[in-house]
Structure 1
Amino acid sequence: MKLKKRKLVVILVIAAVIIAAAGIFAYNLFNRKVSSPVLNNANRNEKWTADLKFVKNELPKKHKNLFFSKSKVEFDRDMDSLINKVDKYNDMQIKWELTKIISSINDSHTSVVMQSKSAYPVSFFQFEDGIYLINSSLAYKDFWGKKLVAVNGYSIEQLHSKLDPIISKDNKAILKNQFCSLLRFPGVLKFAGIAKNDDTVFTFEGSSNTSVTVKSLNKEEFDKTKFLSDDPKYINNIPLSKQNPDKNYWFKYIEKSSTIYVKYNSCSNMKNYSFSSFTKDVFKTLDSKKAKMLVIDLRDNGGGNSKMFDSFLDEIKKRSNINKKGNLFVIIGRKTFSSAILNTMDLKNSTNALLIGEPTGGKPNHFGEVKVIHLSNTNVDIQYSSKYFKTTSKDTDSIYPDVNITLKASSYFNGKDDFLNYILDKQSIK
């Protein structure tokens, strides 16, 4: 949901809800890569055939457990079918079919890496009654708070039918987030047959539906563009939880309800403010203010280093006045993923926190520790899971909150946060 001035990253990894947390994000291979043999003298068909066979043979060996959902028979059948059609398909069609095969594995950390050298300066979110524009460049400010009904003439239902098959997913929650994220990338829309060029027509609901052609921006253009999220007037009209989107973590003391509100957006240290220093500041304020409640908001956290949170967790356990039902709350949502899932499970299992919000995009027991297969002859990357993280004996598809709350567009665009307001309202009637 962030569209602050920042680097426009040219690589989009469909599977990771890190997208959801960061909008556009840096994808780092971390040197965890194996490559297919290079064929210098082969023709186009031979190169594709060799690379696809490499995927068929190597991905089952590299992935922690590739056939946990889709059988080996099904996977081999699909790969063989694609290999046999190399001479009939163009490059885009081959990559499209490969993406669908990998997505059908149903591991949100395993996917074909999608390329997009530009992005639309708009951001969408799915509320209870539909998808709305929640941020944009100033050029499209008149559409803030408007409900999206079509893209290039395709209805939302038609868009789902085109995009859902290429989204690697563990559950329905991640699908909500990924779908909205993908609408921002012309490379993906062209790949899915939704767009023919980089400019796209977005249609919004109204007394008479209004359409606008949105031009995509490359990295340099993106960095120079002013967004609504740069405008103080806009910031004052959005919920507290959506402020400071470029900070990995921040907190605020809410005096009226004697609450420390902690927004934890990424399990990564900030450049000039370490998480350990942040932790000290949070609990110093909590103690000096004699705060009655602590709220930890993980709804937009797509992961990072889960161990970073250990010291914060220890500080909670030291305080019996906070570590009890009705005083400690954790907010979760569709963007809560990967290491943030591990942090959520730690809070769930070792404290008395009440979970508020909506089901998480990540599973409590999930694959992760991403590595990459690079197809040298066709320049395609496939990310895959090399580890499995087990946090509970119950193998559910999501972490479900103790109190499930539906997000309403009418609340958001009036500066209200349905999740946080539930907690603060509960405190006010004690």
Structure 2
Amino acid sequence: MHKWYLLSLMLFSLSKAYSLSGTQLDNWREDIHYLQEQVKTHHLNAFHSQPESDFDNQVNAILAHLPKLSEAEVESQLMKLMASIKDGHSNYYPMSGPHQHFPFQFLYIDEALRIVGATPKYEALIGSEVVAIDGVTIPQVFEQLQPYLYGVDNRYSAQDRFAFQVTLAKVLFAVGITKSPSSATFTFNVSGKPQSQAVDVVEMSKFASIQTALPKQQEWAKENDIGMPGIQMRYFDATKTAYFDFDTYPTFDEVIDSCTSLIKQLTKRQTQHLIIDLRDNGGGSFYTGLAFSSCLSHLDTVNWQRGVVVLINGGTFSAAMSNAAQYHQILNATLIGSPTGGDPNHYGELLMFTLPRSERRFSVSERYYAFVETPTDALYPAITVTPSWQDILNNTDVVLNKAFDYLSVKPKH
């Protein structure tokens, strides 16, 4: 393993033009030793997936080749080092330092990288598929980038993270996908025809302004603010169903303070069904999520036998995955959608650290949670529904539709 790691480092040393100066070398040596020490000191069980000696060998290889590496290459190697812990909450964050992006918002679906948002210069490409970057096909890009992706518990979160992290210009350059840190030639499939175009990177401020051009299937959920920021509700009177778009986490107190009002409203409407949508919820405090379920449990009108559904997908991570598992148990909820990006038995509750010299950020996990008895890599739905690209273009939420279909079927006696 050590031999191959050394080889990969040699291949990543793309140009002496980007090599570190003497002071930078000293600073990064100090930072790397600091990271190594904090991982060993603070992670609950850093070497659950690899021997400590393998981790140390990776550190030593980075230090040995430091004079030949650019700063971006150092950062990419720290991403890979932390990813080797196999814990989606223990990460090196390349965006904690200077970074630029390719000017697209992507969706990775049906094993294709689709453009769903872009800066004005490239808006005509929205909806098209990226098939290659500097001649490297997207399957190859994914394979080459996967060992460096941060925030990954399993293959589903890897696919989810890829769609964003493939925009990070310095990372693509450092791992040898692109030939320049500031531009690349993208090849697109536009209406069935290949089209290549040079694309320049943009600063984070411009990248952050990109909005998805896709229709928002749950936009109507904003019709009812329940006083819990991050959770919006729409009520369907015909089926006595309350749908909750649980996008981000409110505070614990916000849930407690708004609970009585919500229960009064739902009781007055004789609510029978609950749909809790945790798709693309990247997490927060699962104790807040438990407070929300505790609030809902006061509803005596709900069909607690088969009247509760939780929607999940590859973007359901950390606390959101934990709450999905808990709702299945304590609310008797049926899980519908696709496997979660979070592992139900995982290390979490991250501690954030700042490297003393470069001031880059990294995190390690200090807790372990086991939500299922039999080890697995994801929380799998009882009913699997995976949207296609065409479903998204048609603004058809096949997962939510399946939830309504499920709730409409009367159980057999």
Describe how 1:242-261 pairs up with structure 2 within 5 A. Answer: 248-261=230-243
RMSD: 2.9
Give the whole-Å Cα distance in 2 for the aligned partners of 1:192 and 1:241.
38
Which of 9, 14, 31 does residue 51 from structure 1 map onto? Answer: 31
Does residue 240 of structure 1 match 2:218?
yes
Which of 296, 309, 317 does residue 276 from structure 2 map onto? Answer: 296
Give the whole-Å Cα distance in 2 for the aligned partners of 1:143 and 1:249.
33
Distance 1:189 1:80, change over 3 A: closer
Query: Per-residue CA shift, 1:78-124, capped at 9, x if unaligned?
Result: 22222222334343333322321221111111111103544444322
Structure 1: segments with no counterpart, 5+ residues? 1-41
What's the secondary structure of 1:64's corresponding residue? coil
- Aligned partners of 1:120 and 1:185 also within 8 Å: yes
Does residue 337 of structure 1 match 2:317?
yes
The answer for the alignment partner of 1:208 in structure 2 is 193
The answer for the alignment partner of 1:157 in structure 2 is 139
Question: After alignment, is 180-189 or 97-106 more displaced?
Answer: 180-189
What's the secondary structure of 1:370's corresponding residue? strand
Q: Which amino acid aligns with 1:208?
A: K
Give the whole-Å Cα distance in 2 for the aligned partners of 1:252 and 1:293.
12
Q: What percentage of residue pairs aligned between the two structures are identical?
A: 24
- Aligned partners of 2:99 and 2:203 also within 8 Å: yes
The answer for the alignment partner of 1:218 in structure 2 is 203
- Aligned partners of 2:156 and 2:339 also within 8 Å: yes
TM-score, structure 1 normalization: 0.78
The answer for the alignment partner of 1:10 in structure 2 is none
Give the whole-Å Cα distance in 1 for the aligned partners of 2:195 and 2:220.
27
Does residue 136 of structure 1 match 2:118?
yes
User: CA shift at 1:215, angstroms?
Assistant: 4.8
Give the whole-Å Cα distance in 1 for the aligned partners of 2:205 and 2:65.
39
Query: Per-residue CA shift, 1:216-242, capped at 9, x if unaligned?
Result: 44355457x57455xxxx64xx42279
Give the whole-Å Cα distance in 1 for the aligned partners of 2:120 and 2:276.
32
The answer for the alignment partner of 1:388 in structure 2 is 368
Q: Which has the higher contact order (CA 8 A, sep 6+)?
A: 1
What's the secondary structure of 1:274's corresponding residue? helix
What's the secondary structure of 2:107's corresponding residue? strand
- Aligned partners of 2:104 and 2:207 also within 8 Å: no
Give the whole-Å Cα distance in 1 for the aligned partners of 2:103 and 2:24.
36
- Aligned partners of 2:312 and 2:337 also within 8 Å: yes
The answer for the alignment partner of 2:11 in structure 1 is none
Distance 1:214 1:328, change over 3 A: farther
Distance 1:48 1:400, change over 3 A: same
The answer for the alignment partner of 2:79 in structure 1 is 99
Give the whole-Å Cα distance in 1 for the aligned partners of 2:396 and 2:237.
17
What's the secondary structure of 1:209's corresponding residue? strand
User: CA shift at 1:133, angstroms?
Assistant: 2.2
User: CA shift at 1:73, angstroms?
Assistant: 1.9
Which of 156, 162, 168 does residue 179 from structure 1 map onto? Answer: 162
- Aligned partners of 2:83 and 2:149 also within 8 Å: yes
- Aligned partners of 1:325 and 1:354 also within 8 Å: no
- Aligned partners of 1:259 and 1:292 also within 8 Å: yes
Distance 1:281 1:420, change over 3 A: farther
Give the whole-Å Cα distance in 2 for the aligned partners of 1:60 and 1:141.
47
Query: Per-residue CA shift, 1:156-186, capped at 9, x if unaligned?
Result: 1221133111114221111011100112333
Q: Which amino acid aligns with 2:294?
A: D
Distance 1:319 1:379, change over 3 A: closer
What's the secondary structure of 2:362's corresponding residue? strand
Give the whole-Å Cα distance in 1 for the aligned partners of 2:159 and 2:207.
25
Describe how 1:250-329 pairs up with structure 2 within 5 A. Answer: 250-269=232-251, 274-276=254-256, 279-280=259-260, 282-329=262-309
Q: Which amino acid aligns with 1:108?
A: G
The answer for the alignment partner of 1:24 in structure 2 is none
Give the whole-Å Cα distance in 2 for the aligned partners of 1:201 and 1:397.
36
Query: Per-residue CA shift, 1:6-32, capped at 9, x if unaligned?
Result: xxxxxxxxxxxxxxxxxxxxxxxxxxx
What's the secondary structure of 2:350's corresponding residue? strand
TM-score, structure 2 normalization: 0.81
Distance 1:216 1:310, change over 3 A: same
- Aligned partners of 1:306 and 1:342 also within 8 Å: yes
Does residue 364 of structure 1 match 2:364?
no
Task: Give the aligned length.
Answer: 378
